[in-house]
Structure 1
Amino acid sequence: MQEITKTERAERFMPDWIVGAALRWSLIPGLWVWGRAYAADWPDVVPSAVSAAQIWAVPLVAPAQLAQIAVWGAHLAVVMLAVGFLTRIVGLALLIAAIVFAWWIAPQAWTSAAVYGALAFYLCVRGGGGLSVDGAVMGALR
C-alpha cells in the first residue's frame, strides 16, 4: 500500500494550478491601476511620474527613463501575469521592485510592499501553476 505524503495531501486539498492562477490574478488589478494612473500616450508618462522618479534618485538612470520603465514595465507585467508567460521571471522582478519600494522609495508603505513581495516570492519560487503558458509548456515537455 502506498503512503500519501503531506505534499500530496496539500496538493489534493488545493491544487497548485488554482493557487498559481489566484496569485497571478491577484497582482494584476493593483499593477494595472497603478500603471494606468501614470501612463500617457506611448511612450510618455504623466509629469507626476517623472517628478516622483526625481525624488527616488536612482543612480545611472535618468528620471524620465526610470518613470517610463516603471510605468510600462507594470503594463508588461500585467500582460505576462494574465497569460502566465515567464511567471518566475516576472515574480523575481516584482520581488525586487517590492524590496526597492519598501527600502528606498516609500519605507512608510512597507506593509503593502510586504504583501506584494510575498505574492511575488511565491510566483518566483513555484511559478504560475498548470493554468498558464509556462505550465502548458512544462506539461508538454514531460
Structure 2
Amino acid sequence: MRALVQRVTEARVSVDGEIIGQTGPGLLILICAMQGDDTARADAMAAKIAKLRIFQDSAGKMNLSLKDIGGSALVVSQFTLAADTRSGNRPGFSAAAPPAEGRALYDHFTASLRAQGVACETGRFGASMQVALINDGPVTLWLDV
C-alpha cells in the first residue's frame, strides 16, 4: 500500500458540495492499494500510521503519535498515488489495484486503523471528491508498505 500522510489542524472531503468526512487536529491520509497488496499490508500500514511520531511534544520535538495526542484521521482513497510518470506526459495507473480489490483494501485499512484506536472518517471510494486541508508544519510523509 502507498499513503501520503499529512499532519493537519483540520481537513474535510466533499462530494457534490456536501461534506462527507472531516477531521480536526490529526491526519489526512490519502491511500492507494497497489497491485499485489493484501490485508496484511493494509494492517501493517494502519499500524505504522497509528504509531508514527510526527506530533510535537512539550519540547517542540516530533515525538508523539496520533494515538498519543488523541487525534483523528480523514482517510481518502486516491488511486493516482500509483501514477507512473517515467515515460511520456500522461500518467499510467496500471500499478494500482483493480477497483473492487482497491475498495476492499481501502475498507480494510480504515477498519484496521479504527481497531488501532484511531477515530476516522472517510471519503467516498471512486467518487470525484474535493479535499480541503490546513497542513500543520507543514508535515507531509510518503509511506510505502
> Normalization by structure 2: what TM-score?
0.24
Q: Which has the larger radius of gyration?
A: 1
Which structure is richer in relative contact order (CA contacts within 8 A, separation 6 or more)?
Answer: 2
> Normalization by structure 1: what TM-score?
0.25
More helix by proportion, 1 or 2?
Answer: 1
